[in-house]
């Protein structure tokens, strides 16, 4: 079906080139040429999908012993990311089906919040009950809030002791929740005494490094509780902190000093473990004889447990990753999505797949030993860290160090977490998470692919991780704006996938796939032009669609085929037709609003007028979500500029529809023929249908209504548009 659509697009382009009489036809040609290009990248990406299966029972035939894994969790704001969510993620990670002495969990708190620290402290106490409970009873969902939300879990065993234990555990968890809630209500800086004293003089963007070993598995028990470390890196107003990428690099260095595991799992604070065996599944790929030499990272899908009914805001990303992600997997590999991902530490440190021959080039290896000078230039001046990095780069098998911190004062750790540490090193440039884009994840993965690494998807059943998705259109639109701008930033940077293919080892079709994804924001421009085209035609009494047989069948079939194709993809993915429509509609809305703002943001950034920021997505507390049915899926509005393009487009369509209706009503009075046809009117009506949430917003009240200033500005823009249309006619 995708190829038929491509064929139709090409036929349409051919037709355009032959009948290029009017201005609207010319604009249509440009837009359609762009759509065709995008579709070529889509088809190429989806053409050869692949899927990796893992066989756990074979893992131990390959390796006698499991390697250590360092787990990174990032949180940045104790209000937008409530600590109760973070600790549930942490608890699920501590309870992984993996030897506890091979795991260490590092939590980065960019919010420098004593509440988060307190919650982790309390969670570590609870973990001593929770981890053995999970392992003993083979619990599947190891995030307590999700486990206890499902009352049927108490029936999973017939043993009377189990029921008793279950109830006790539930009570303990509820007590933990209450403690954190109380602490949140009474957070008073004067009470920051004892262990919390260090938080008393901190400001969000101005504080020293705080590192606390919350729990150390001192005896190295394989059935104990893994290490848990809290890190809030140093921040000073005059030093850029590079958002999540900066946090990840600090985690990498601190963990390098403490446990230095060869594999790193990273998750966002809301992504709890839903399949406790996931680390072993991922290792099946990473330790596979072929994978060992080729695969840089293993990415697990992102799924959400709090889906709004029928995906009203189009943010569940189910069908798309299934087809596009499967396609990526059949090429050089899936993109790195920033969370639910297992990395090789040596790759994070900048190693290439053919490093054996290239050592000299990468790190100035001399006789297989990296030279001290190069290492300091790359990794910074911490002697201990350089030592640990050398260990990793030389590929030495890991020996579990007997104690976590070399000194009680954690001097070395504090040094590598300081905000000056990275100056004149390769961190953020060639080493670690790469800076410069709010989609640091895709950028970091792209650079690995450019070096020639592959990546793989790991999606065992049950789903590996589950997290929160934005619960309203505001969150969804902000998220898409951040993604699309970050992705465009990559496309326009020196790391552009095209250069990756020309000068690096990025495969051609992988490059096309990256072009598909990084061009998201650019798509907004032709899409907006195409969206106002029918209105332009109606107002100026011209046409851009062929309205005579047989040519009119080209766009008609194209439209029908495209929708059938998307609908079947949704149905095959097990989604409803309603979900398909919501995704379709939100696709139009987000491209023309969020992605357009993302595009503008990057233009301003390139002109050095303003910089892009990482706006954190709000994660709702599971219990606070009791929405009445009629408000589910309803749009809320605020004064944000993001609503201006959408409102303007809607008003323009409405004006055009009224004009066409007027023309039709007074048909007998109109002397000259109507140049536009049903096609243009249909397009206008289709767009109004897509923008129905905005139409409701025009008449809505309170937060459900578009603010008057926005409507006013949109009306002025729409008026200008009509004016320009009319003046082109009179000229």
Ligand X SMILES: O=c1ccn([C@@H]2O[C@H](COP(=O)(O)OP(=O)(O)O[C@H]3O[C@H](CO)[C@@H](O)[C@H](O)[C@H]3O)[C@@H](O)[C@H]2O)c(=O)[nH]1
Which amino acids are annotated as binding site, given as ranges?
81, 110, 244, 268
Residue 616 interacts with ligand X (CB under 6 A): yes or no: yes
Stretch of residues binding ligand X (CB under 6 A), selected from 25-33, 68-76, 407-415, 504-512: 68-76
**Binding residues for ligand X, total number by CB under 6 A:** 24
Closest C-alpha to 405, from 227, 249, 247, 264: 227
528 contact, one of Mn ion, ligand X, none, CB 5-8 Å limit per kind? none
Q: For residue 650, give the 3-state DSSP assignment.
A: helix
**End-to-end alpha carbon distance in the chain:** 44
Q: How far apart are CA 69 and CA 279, in angstroms?
A: 8
381: nearest Cα among 430, 426, 324, 337: 426
Report 423-442 residues binding ligand X (CB under 6 A).
Answer: 438-439, 441
Instruction: Provide the minimum distance between the beta carbon of 479 and ligand X in the complex, in angstroms, as a whole number.
Output: 4
The nearest distance, CB 478 to Mn ion, in angstroms, is: 11
The closest residue (CB) to ligand X is 338
Shortest gap between Cβ of 617 and Mn ion (angstroms)? 5
Q: What is the 3 state secondary structure string of 690-728?
A: HCHHHHHHHHCCHHHCCCHHHHHHHHHHHHHHHHHHHHH
Binding residues for Mn(2+): 244, 268
Q: CA-based angle 236:237:243, to the nearest 5?
A: 80
- Subset of 535-594 contacting ligand X (CB under 6 A): none
Evaluate whether 105 touches 227 at the Cβ level (below 8 Å). yes
Q: Rounded to whole angstroms, how far apart are CA atoms 725 and 467? A: 47
> How far is it, in rounded angstroms, from Cα 58 to Cα 48?
27
Reply yes or no on whether 97 is catalytic: no
Among 144, 226, 338, 546, binds ligand X (CB under 6 A): 338
Binder of residue 334, out of Mn ion, ligand X, none (CB less than 5 to 8 A by kind):
none
| Contact call for residues 482 and 602 (beta carbons, < 8 A) | no
Q: Which stretch binds ligand X (CB under 6 A): 179-187, 239-247, 256-264, 553-561?
A: 239-247
Q: Report the partner that residue 74 touches, choosing among ligand X, Mn ion, none (CB closer than 5 to 8 A by kind).
A: ligand X
Q: Which does 542 bind (CB under 5 to 8 A by kind): Mn ion, ligand X, none?
A: none
Contacts to Mn ion from residues 257-286, by CB under 5 A: 268
Specify whether the CB–CB gap between 325 and 334 falls below 8 A.
Answer: yes
Radius of gyration of the chain (CA): 28
Give the count of beta carbons closer than 10 Å to the beta carbon of residue 150: 10
Give the C-alpha separation, 598 to 595, whole Å: 5
Is residue 268 a contact residue for ligand X (CB under 6 A)? yes
Q: Select the residue interacting with ligand X from 52, 75, 359, 378 (CB under 6 A).
A: 75
Q: Which of 70, 110, 362, 489 is catalytic?
A: 110
HSE-up (13 A, CA, CB side) for residue 675: 13
Taking CB within 5 to 8 Å according to partner kind, which of ligand X, Mn ion, none is near residue 92? none
Q: Which residue among 614, 635, 676, 721 contacts ligand X (CB under 6 A)?
A: 614
Q: Out of ligand X, Mn ion, none, which partner does residue 229 contact, by CB within 5 to 8 A per kind?
A: none
Chain CA centroid to CA 475, Å: 13
Give yes or no: 362 in active site. no
Catalytic residue among 288, 310, 311, 441: 441
Q: Applying CB under 6 A, does 450 fall inside the site for ligand X? A: no
Q: Which is nearer to ligand X, 403 or 624 (CB)?
A: 624
Task: Kindly list the residues in this chain that would bind ligand X in the complex (CB under 6 A).
Answer: 74-76, 81, 108, 110, 243-244, 247, 268-269, 337-339, 438-439, 441, 479, 482-483, 486, 614, 616-617
User: Catalytic amino acids?
Assistant: 110, 441
């Amino acid at each position: 079906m995708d190829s038929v659509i491509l064929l139709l697009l090409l036929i349409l382009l051919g037709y355009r080139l032959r009948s290029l009489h009017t201005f609207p036809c010319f604009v249509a040609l440009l837009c359609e040429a762009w759509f065709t290009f995008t579709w070529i990248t889509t088809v190429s990406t989806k053409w050869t999908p692949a899927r990796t299966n893992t066989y756990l029972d074979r893992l131990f035939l390959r390796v006698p012993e499991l390697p250590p894994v360092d787990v990174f969790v990032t949180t940045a704001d104790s209000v937008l990311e409530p600590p109760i969510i973070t600790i549930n993620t942490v608890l699920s990670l501590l309870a992984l089906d993996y030897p506890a002495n091979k795991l260490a969990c590092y939590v980065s708190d960019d919010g420098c919040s004593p509440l988060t620290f307190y919650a982790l402290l309390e969670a570590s106490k609870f973990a001593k009950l929770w981890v053995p409970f999970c392992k003993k009873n083979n619990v599947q969902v190891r995030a307590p809030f999700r486990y206890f939300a499902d009352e049927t879990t108490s029936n999973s065993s017939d043993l009377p002791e189990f029921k008793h234990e279950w109830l006790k555990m539930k009570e303990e968890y509820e007590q933990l929740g209450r403690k954190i809630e109380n602490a949140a209500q009474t957070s008073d800086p004067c009470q920051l005494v004892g262990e919390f004293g260090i938080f008393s003089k901190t400001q969000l963007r101005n504080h020293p490094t705080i590192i606390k070993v919350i729990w150390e598995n001192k005896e190295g028990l394989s059935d104990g509780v893994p290490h848990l470390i809290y890190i809030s890196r140093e921040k000073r107003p005059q030093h850029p902190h590079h958002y999540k990428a900066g946090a990840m690099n600090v985690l990498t260095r601190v963990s390098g000093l403490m446990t230095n595991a060869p594999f790193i799992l990273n998750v966002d604070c809301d992504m709890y473990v839903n399949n406790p065996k996931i680390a072993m599944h991922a290792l099946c790929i990473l330790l596979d004889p072929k994978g060992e030499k080729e695969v840089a990272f293993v990415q697990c899908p992102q799924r959400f447990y709090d889906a709004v009914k029928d995906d009203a805001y189009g943010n569940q990303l189910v069908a798309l990753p299934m087809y596009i992600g499967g396609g990526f997997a059949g090429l050089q590999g899936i993109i790195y999505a920033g969370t639910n991902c297992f990395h090789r530490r040596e790759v994070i440190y900048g190693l290439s797949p053919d490093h054996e021959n290239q050592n000299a080039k990468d790190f100035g290896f001399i006789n297989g030993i990296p030279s001290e000078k190069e290492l300091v230039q790359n990794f910074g001046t911490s002697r201990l860290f350089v030592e640990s990095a050398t260990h990793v780069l030389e590929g030495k098998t890991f020996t579990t160090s007997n104690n976590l911190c070399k000194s009680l004062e954690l001097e070395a750790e504090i040094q590598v977490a300081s905000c000056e540490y990275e100056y004149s090193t390769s961190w953020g440039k060639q080493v670690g998470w790469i800076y410069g884009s709010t989609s640091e994840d895709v950028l970091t993965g792209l650079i690995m692919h450019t070096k020639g690494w592959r990546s793989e998807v790991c999606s065992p059943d049950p789903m590996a991780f589950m997290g929160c998705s934005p619960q309203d259109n505001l969150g969804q639109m902000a998220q898409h704006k951040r993604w699309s701008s970050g992705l465009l930033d990559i496309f326009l940077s020196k790391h552009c996938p095209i250069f990756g293919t020309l000068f690096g080892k990025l495969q051609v079709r992988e490059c096309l796939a990256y072009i598909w994804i990084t061009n998201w924001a650019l798509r907004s421009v032709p899409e907006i032009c195409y969206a106002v085209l029918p209105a332009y035609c109606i107002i100026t009494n011209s046409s851009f669609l062929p309205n005579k047989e047989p040519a009119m069948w080209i766009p008609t079939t194209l439209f029908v085929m495209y929708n059938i194709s998307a609908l079947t993809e949704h149905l095959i993915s097990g989604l409803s037709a309603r979900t398909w429509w919501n995704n379709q509609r939100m696709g139009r809305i987000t491209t023309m609003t969020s992605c357009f703002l993302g595009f503008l943001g990057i233009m301003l950034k390139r002109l050095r007028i303003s910089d892009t920021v990482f706006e954190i997505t709000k994660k709702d507390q599971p219990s606070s979500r009791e929405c009445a049915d009629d408000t589910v899926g309803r749009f809320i509005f605020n004064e944000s500029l993001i609503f201006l393009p959408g409102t303007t487009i809607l008003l323009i369509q409405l004006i055009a529809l009224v004009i066409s209706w007027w023309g039709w009503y007074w048909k007998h009075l109109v002397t000259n023929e109507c140049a536009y046809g049903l096609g243009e009117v249909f397009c206008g009506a289709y767009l109004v249908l897509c923008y129905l949430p905005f139409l409701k917003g025009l008449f809505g009240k309170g937060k459900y209504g578009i603010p008057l200033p926005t409507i006013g500005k949109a009306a002025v823009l729409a008026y200008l548009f009509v004016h320009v249309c009319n003046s082109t006619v009179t000229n």
